[in-house]
Structure 1
Amino acid sequence: MCSKQARRTGWRIGTLAAAAMALLTACGGGTSQIEPFAPGRLIVFGDENSLIVSDGTGNGRKYTVNGMTGEALPLRDCTLNPLWVEALSNHYGFVFAECNKAAATPRAFMRAKAGAKVGDATVGIAQQISEQTTSGGAFKTNDLVTVMLGSNDLIELSERVIAGTLSEGDAVGEARRRGALLAERINGLLGAGARAIVSTVPDMGVTPYAITLNKTRAGAAARLSNLSYEFNATLRTTIDQTRFDGRNYGLVLTDDTVSTVSRFPDSFGYSNVVDGVCAVALPNCTSATADLVSGGNAGTYMWADDRRLAPPMHSRIGSQALTRAINNPF
């Protein structure tokens, strides 16, 4: 039983909330804690930025620099150089069937597709979601999904402007429309009870693709940066804020991260942010010297090829994604 003195002392503390806490502590009470979110499975949607391609042996390939073992005769190992989504799967102890050297039961599911665009009729977000529900059933409240999609859309829109089949203004409008379409699909996933880590797409205006194109097509890099901004801004603002918040999803600002590193590479330990490090086409590039450009270092380049991220950037984005997953009040 609390004494009168304890009650008087509690009321002297600045706010009612603080008083209640002081009294509860003085009287031997406890405080409730938010239970950390423990996903039952991880489901990945998107394009090459999130994709592991099956090789049929559980040692799949990625659209970045694939890691090699340090043995006398190095071998490609899919567990090395993890993608940003693997920061989540590794933390929760999940494996994808596409990278499953130990033949464990998969609890992470790869639905991302190479070349995917938001509204693509065969590999877009609607089809990826449909594939998951067909194979894995309805979404559950302990599902964690990731979404990063749109890079291929932005390059397509820019190329249509260059070809003269789309005006600048219409390209911006279409970028917004596709960002809104992706957000509506995310609203559907959240409405079904899933939790989500949503990533913006990289600033495509600072990719090696854009930098090279800008040499012959002045303004191409600025256009791609603007399209990236419009897509990402619409994506972020069309996720229904009246229904969903940090209890439902976490946002990873990949565009901001890529832009910042491209401006201040030395501050982040990058030696090159304007070229791709791979000399062979993805997803076949490995960290073997023969697969890299002369003098290339897969550990200090930002880009794997002219538009896809190298391992250090995946690590940086993956850390952000994991922070959101752990700290959001799911």
Structure 2
Amino acid sequence: MKFNGNAMRAAIGVIGAALTALALVSCGGGQAVEKFVPTRILAFGDESSFMDANGLKYSVNAKADGTIDCKANPIWVQGLAAAYGLVFPQCNPDAVAAPASQILATVDATSGNVKDQIDLFVTNGGSFGGKDLATVLAGARDILDQYALIKAGTTTEAQAIPILEQAGTALAAQVNRIGLAGGKVLIATVPDMGLTPFAVNAGATDAALLTRLTSRFNSKLRVGLINDGHMTGLLLIDEMVQNIVKNPGSGGFGAVDKA
């Protein structure tokens, strides 16, 4: 999926809309709403939120004068952090003193691995405060694993669906865990895997299967969230991707059928 600069602005706009939910700390009526401004971002999930120690990410790693420019082509959590003047230690070319934000995501993480990431964070002395914004994006690996089993003939779609529904429910429980522990959470649904270049190349039948699997995971994820308007913001990436595919030009995307 190729995009120009407008695409990042569109994505940040959607993220900003989700963050308005986290700002709803008033008691209602005509009282003023206190804007939520995080002092650090804690990124959990899979490679969509991952950078290594050198600032390399599972995206386009831009080069400037033959060296990696980790600020260019930022992943979504970098863009979110930048909106609040925050950086991650993995990409801090301007030498911001003691950045507190953390990349806790891991490559190929499943929804179950997010629990492991949170467990490790807590075991290492971490805790969630009212000015922490945790981001969570995972589930693509769960979906692709079940898809691979279906293609191999070792399971069926009917057998895969309850497994993915349970994975979505389990991920929602971890989001609730962070919120109940005192943090704010921005949870993203899994992009519609049936609209990825991988799915398009696999053919219409496989693409439709991947869309159905994604839908079942996301539906249970959404149902399982504590949606009280205070601790959780929901970012509907699946719907965002569907809208981009229908009208790529409006989001600044040049092509939606190529990696």
| TM-score normalised to structure 2 length | 0.83
Contact 1:111 1:131 in 2 (8 A): no
Taking a change above 3 Å as real, the CA distance of residues 125 and 47 of structure 1, as seen in their structure-2 partners, is: same
How far is the alpha carbon of 1:88 from its aligned partner?
2.0
How far is the alpha carbon of 1:32 from its aligned partner?
4.7
- Structure 2 unmatched ranges of 5 or more: 1-29
How far is the alpha carbon of 1:114 from its aligned partner?
0.5
Q: How does 1:58-137 map to 2 (within 5 A)?
A: 60-69=55-64, 73-103=65-95, 104-119=97-112, 124-137=113-126
Aligned match of 1:174: 163
Return the alpha-carbon distance in structure 1 between the equivalents of residues 122 and 62 of structure 2. 32
Aligned match of 2:43: 44
Deviation string, structure 1 residues 51-80 (Cα, Å, up to 9, x no partner): 11112xxxx1111112233xxx35321111
Return the alpha-carbon distance in structure 1 between the equivalents of residues 249 and 108 of structure 2. 32
Aligned match of 2:252: 269
Larger mean CA deviation between 263-272 and 174-183 belongs to: 263-272
- Structure 1 unmatched ranges of 5 or more: 1-30, 277-330
Return the alpha-carbon distance in structure 2 between the equivalents of residues 233 and 109 of structure 1. 28
Aligned match of 1:324: none
Aligned match of 2:216: 230
Of 208, 217, 241, the residue aligned with 1:258 is 241
Taking a change above 3 Å as real, the CA distance of residues 32 and 212 of structure 1, as seen in their structure-2 partners, is: closer
The alignment partner of 2:253 has SS state of: coil
Aligned match of 2:226: 240
Larger Rg computed on CA atoms: 1
The alignment partner of 1:221 has SS state of: helix
The alignment partner of 1:219 has SS state of: helix
Return the alpha-carbon distance in structure 1 between the equivalents of residues 91 and 194 of structure 2. 32
Tell me: higher relative CO, structure 1 or 2? Use CA pairs within 8 A at least 6 residues apart.
2
Return the alpha-carbon distance in structure 2 between the equivalents of residues 136 and 261 of structure 1. 41
Return the alpha-carbon distance in structure 1 between the equivalents of residues 79 and 93 of structure 2. 17
Q: How does 1:177-196 map to 2 (within 5 A)?
A: 177-196=166-185
Return the alpha-carbon distance in structure 1 between the equivalents of residues 120 and 87 of structure 2. 19
Amino acid at match of 1:270: F
Aligned match of 1:141: 130
Return the alpha-carbon distance in structure 1 between the equivalents of residues 247 and 31 of structure 2. 43
The alignment partner of 2:258 has SS state of: strand
How far is the alpha carbon of 1:136 from its aligned partner?
4.5
Return the alpha-carbon distance in structure 2 between the equivalents of residues 194 and 267 of structure 1. 34
Return the alpha-carbon distance in structure 2 between the equivalents of residues 272 and 88 of structure 1. 24
Aligned residues: 229
Contact 2:78 2:88 in 1 (8 A): no
Taking a change above 3 Å as real, the CA distance of residues 246 and 268 of structure 1, as seen in their structure-2 partners, is: same
How far is the alpha carbon of 1:176 from its aligned partner?
0.6
Amino acid at match of 1:85: V
Return the alpha-carbon distance in structure 1 between the equivalents of residues 102 and 179 of structure 2. 18
Amino acid at match of 1:179: G
The alignment partner of 1:54 has SS state of: coil
Contact 1:175 1:227 in 2 (8 A): yes
Contact 2:226 2:232 in 1 (8 A): no
Return the alpha-carbon distance in structure 1 between the equivalents of residues 74 and 250 of structure 2. 23
Return the alpha-carbon distance in structure 2 between the equivalents of residues 133 and 261 of structure 1. 37
Contact 1:140 1:194 in 2 (8 A): yes
| Root mean square deviation, CA, Å | 1.6
The alignment partner of 1:61 has SS state of: coil
Deviation string, structure 1 residues 246-301 (Cα, Å, up to 9, x no partner): 2111111100111111122234332321111xxxxxxxxxxxxxxxxxxxxxxxxx
